[in-house]
C-alpha cells in the first residue's frame, strides 16, 4: 500500500508540473496573483465566496481565473460569458468535478448533481424531462395544494421561534408526495427522517466549504488505512455512505411495495415505472436510474425552498408596505379576509404577488455560484485559454445584482417587475433565466419548484400577518442574519411573529388542516 501511495504521489506531482507549465505557456484569463505551487489558496474562502468572486469581477472582468494546487477555477461573471460557454458550448461544459469524497467514498456518485457527463447523466435527464416537463406540472397541483395548506398551522405554532423546521417539513413532505406518492403524516415518519438526514449531510457536511476535500485534490489518499493519522475522513465517509444509500433505497422500496399491492397514488416514480414508451420502459424496468433521479429531486429542492422562504420573510419584515399591498390584491381575488385559499388558477390575476415572487428569487439567489461545471477539453474564449479540467462557476450573484439591469440592486423592490419594458430587457431581468442553472445542467425540476414556491408565497401572504418580535420593553428585535453555508445562501436562524389575519382566517386554516 505504501509503494502504491508513493507512486500515486509522484504521478500526481508530474501531472501537476506538466499542466502548470502548459498553462503558463498560454494566455489565461486574469485573476489574483497565485503563489508558486499553492496557487490561490490564500485568496479563497468558503464563507460567502460569491462576494469575493464579485469583487474579482469588478477588478478583472467577465472571466476570472484562479488555481488551487494546479486545479483551475474559472468564474463567469456576465450573462454573455455564461451563455457563450455554458449554453452554446454545453457539449464540453457539462461535466462535473470528480469529487472522490462525495461520489466514491460517500456513495453520492449516482445523484444527478454529481453524475459525470455521459450516458448515465443523459438517461437521468431524459427521465426527469419526461416526468417534470412543463405540461406535466398541473398533474402535481393537487399534491402541492394539499401540502401547502397544513404549512400555515406549522408556521403559526413556530411563531416567535424557529420557523425553519416547519419549512423543512413542508418541503420534505411535498417531495415525498410528488416524487414517491408517500404521505408523511408525522414529523418522525421514517421516510422523511431518512431523506432529511441525507439532505442535511449533503448540504452541511459533505459539500460544506465548497465540497472540496483533500482527498479530492490527492485521490491517492483514499487508499490510506482508516487508522492512519489524518485519515478520519474515511470513517466519516463510511458512516455517511450508509445514510445516503438508505435514503435512496427506503422510500423507493415503499413505493414499489405499494405499486405491487395496487395502492400507490400517481407520482413521479410511479408514472415512470408504468411508462409505455419502449425506451423509457427499459430504463424503468431496471429502476436504478429512477430511484437515484428521484432522490436527487428531493435533495435539490430542500435548501432552495428554505432559502427562498427566509428571504421572503426578511423582505416583508423590512418592507411591511409590500405585505399590505399584496394582501389587498389577494383580497380582491379571494374575497376580503380572505374567504378562501389561493389556487394556481388565480395566478394571472395577481401581478403584484408575481412581482414579489420574482424579486424574492432575485434577491435571495439561493445558489449564488451554482454548482461548478467542468470543461472537458481545452478551449479558448475572448482570446483567453480555458484549460481542460477547469471548474467553471457561473456568478449568478453578480448577474442578479448588475446595477445596469437592476437599479439599486441591493434594495428589495418588486415594483421593478411591474415596469413596462421591451422583451429583451424583460428576459435579462427574469431571475428564472439565471437562478436554476445553465445548459445541460439546468435544473429540470424548475417548473415544479417554481409552482410549489409560488403557491407557498401566495398562501402565506394571503393568510398571515408578519411582524418583527419585540423585547420586554416593546422595542422591535432586528433579525440577526449571517450566511455560513458555502453553497446555498441559507441564513442563520432568526425569529419572526406570524399571526392569522383574523379569527375567520384561523378557522379556515384549522378546517383545511
Which pLDDT belongs to residue 3? 41
DSSP string, 437-466: --GGGS-TTHHHHHHHHHHHHHHHHHHEEE
Closest-CA residue to 490 (of 311, 356, 319): 311
* Contacting residues for 211 by C-beta, under 8 A, at least 6 apart: 99, 101, 102, 486, 487
Helix (H, G, I), strand (E, B) or coil at 50: helix
The annotation places the binding site at: 443
Q: Are 103 and 87 in contact (CB under 8 A)?
A: no
The annotation places the binding site for heme at: 443
Tens digits of residue pLDDT in 177-232: 999 999 887 778 899 999 889 988 888 888 876 667 889 888 999 999 988 998 99
Q: Are 386 and 31 in contact (CB under 8 A)?
A: no
Euclidean distance between CA atoms 217 and 236, whole angstroms:
18
Angle at which helix 288-318 crosses helix 119-132, to 10 degrees, equals 60
Full set of structural domains in the chain with CATH? 92-365+400-512 (1.10.630.10)
Which pLDDT belongs to residue 307? 92
Closest-CA residue to 505 (of 321, 345, 335): 335
Euclidean distance between CA atoms 373 and 73, whole angstroms:
10
Please give the helix or strand (H or E) that residue 364 lies within, else none: helix 351-364
Please give the helix or strand (H or E) that residue 160 lies within, else none: none
Which pLDDT belongs to residue 132? 86
Q: Are 97 and 216 in contact (CB under 8 A)?
A: yes
Closest-CA residue to 359 (of 309, 414, 311, 310): 414
The pTM of the full predicted model, rounded to 2 decimals, is 0.89
Which residues of the chain, if any, have pLDDT below 70?
A: 1-25, 209-211, 275-286, 299, 513
Helix (H, G, I), strand (E, B) or coil at 115: coil
Euclidean distance between CA atoms 375 and 113, whole angstroms:
16
* Phi, psi at 207, each rounded to 5°: -105, 10
Angle at which helix 320-334 crosses helix 288-318, to 10 degrees, equals 110
Closest-CA residue to 470 (of 492, 493, 491, 496): 496
Cell of 263: 395502492
Q: Are 5 and 223 in contact (CB under 8 A)?
A: yes
Which pLDDT belongs to residue 25? 54
- How far from 143 is each of 128, 157, 293, CA to CA, in Å? 18, 23, 19
Q: Are 481 and 492 in contact (CB under 8 A)?
A: yes
Tens digits of residue pLDDT in 92-117: 999 999 899 999 999 999 999 899 99
Q: Are 283 and 291 in contact (CB under 8 A)?
A: no
Which pLDDT belongs to residue 282? 62
Closest-CA residue to 499 (of 105, 10, 159, 55): 159
Closest-CA residue to 313 (of 503, 155, 145, 146): 155
Which pLDDT belongs to residue 210? 63
* Contacting residues for 81 by C-beta, under 8 A, at least 6 apart: 62, 63, 381, 382
Residue 370: left if φ>0, alpha if ψ -120 to 50, beta else—which one? left
Which pLDDT belongs to residue 460? 97
Helix (H, G, I), strand (E, B) or coil at 331: helix
Amino acid at each position: 500500500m505504501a509503494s502504491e501511495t508513493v507512486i500515486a504521489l509522484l504521478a500526481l506531482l508530474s501531472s501537476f508540473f506538466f499542466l502548470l507549465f502548459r498553462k503558463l505557456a498560454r494566455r489565461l484569463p486574469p485573476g489574483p496573483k497565485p503563489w508558486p505551487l499553492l496557487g490561490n489558496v490564500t485568496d479563497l474562502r468558503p464563507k460567502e465566496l460569491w462576494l469575493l468572486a464579485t469583487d474579482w469581477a469588478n477588478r478583472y472582468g467577465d472571466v476570472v481565473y484562479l488555481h488551487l494546487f494546479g486545479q483551475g477555477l474559472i468564474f463567469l461573471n456576465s450573462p454573455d460569458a455564461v451563455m457563450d460557454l455554458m449554453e452554446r458550448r454545453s457539449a464540453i461544459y457539462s461535466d462535473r468535478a470528480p469529487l472522490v469524497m462525495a461520489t466514491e467514498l460517500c456513495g453520492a456518485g449516482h445523484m444527478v448533481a454529481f453524475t459525470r457527463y455521459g450516458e448515465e447523466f443523459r438517461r437521468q435527464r431524459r427521465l426527469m424531462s419526461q416526468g417534470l416537463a412543463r405540461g406535466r406540472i398541473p398533474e402535481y397541483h393537487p399534491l402541492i395544494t394539499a401540502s401547502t395548506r397544513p404549512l400555515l398551522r406549522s408556521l403559526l405554532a413556530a411563531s416567535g421561534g424557529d420557523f425553519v423546521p416547519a419549512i423543512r417539513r413542508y418541503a420534505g413532505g411535498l417531495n415525498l408526495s410528488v416524487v414517491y406518492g408517500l404521505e408523511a403524516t408525522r414529523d418522525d415518519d421514517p421516510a422523511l427522517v431518512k431523506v432529511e438526514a441525507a439532505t442535511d449531510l449533503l448540504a452541511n457536511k459533505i459539500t460544506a466549504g465548497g465540497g472540496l476535500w483533500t482527498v479530492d485534490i490527492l485521490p491517492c489518499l483514499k487508499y490510506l488505512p482508516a487508522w492512519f493519522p489524518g485519515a478520519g475522513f474515511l470513517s466519516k465517509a463510511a458512516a455517511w455512505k450508509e445514510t445516503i444509500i438508505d435514503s435512496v433505497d427506503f422510500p423507493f422500496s415503499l413505493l414499489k411495495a405499494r405499486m405491487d399491492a395496487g395502492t400507490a397514488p400517481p407520482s413521479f416514480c410511479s408514472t415512470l415505472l408504468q411508462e409505455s414508451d419502449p425506451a423509457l420502459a427499459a430504463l424503468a424496468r431496471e429502476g436504478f436510474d429512477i430511484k437515484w433521479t428521484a432522490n436527487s429531486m428531493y435533495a435539490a429542492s430542500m435548501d432552495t425552498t428554505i432559502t427562498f422562504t427566509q428571504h421572503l420573510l426578511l423582505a416583508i419584515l423590512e418592507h411591511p408596505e409590500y405585505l399590505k399591498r399584496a394582501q389587498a390584491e389577494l383580497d380582491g381575488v379571494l374575497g376580503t379576509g380572505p374567504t378562501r385559499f389561493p389556487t394556481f388558477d388565480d395566478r394571472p390575476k395577481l401581478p403584484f404577488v408575481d412581482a414579489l415572487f420574482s424579486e424574492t428569487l432575485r434577491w435571495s439567489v439561493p445558489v449564488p455560484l451554482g454548482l461548478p461545471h467542468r470543461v472537458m477539453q481545452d478551449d479558448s474564449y475572448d482570446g483567453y485559454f480555458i484549460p481542460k479540467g477547469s471548474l467553471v462557476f457561473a456568478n449568478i450573484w453578480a448577474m442578479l445584482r448588475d446595477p445596469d439591469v437592476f437599479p439599486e440592486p441591493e434594495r428589495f423592490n418588486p415594483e421593478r417587475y411591474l415596469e413596462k419594458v421591451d422583451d429583451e430587457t424583460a428576459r435579462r431581468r427574469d431571475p428564472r433565466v439565471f437562478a436554476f442553472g445553465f445548459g445541460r445542467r439546468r435544473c429540470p425540476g424548475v417548473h415544479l419548484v417554481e409552482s410549489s414556491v409560488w403557491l407557498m408565497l401566495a398562501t402565506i401572504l394571503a393568510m398571515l400577518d408578519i411582524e418583527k418580535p419585540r423585547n420586554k420593553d416593546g422595542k422591535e428585535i432586528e433579525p440577526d442574519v449571517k450566511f455560513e453555508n458555502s453553497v446555498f445562501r441559507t441564513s442563520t436562524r432568526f425569529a419572526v411573529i406570524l399571526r392569522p389575519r383574523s379569527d375567520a382566517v384561523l378557522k379556515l386554516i384549522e378546517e383545511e388542516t
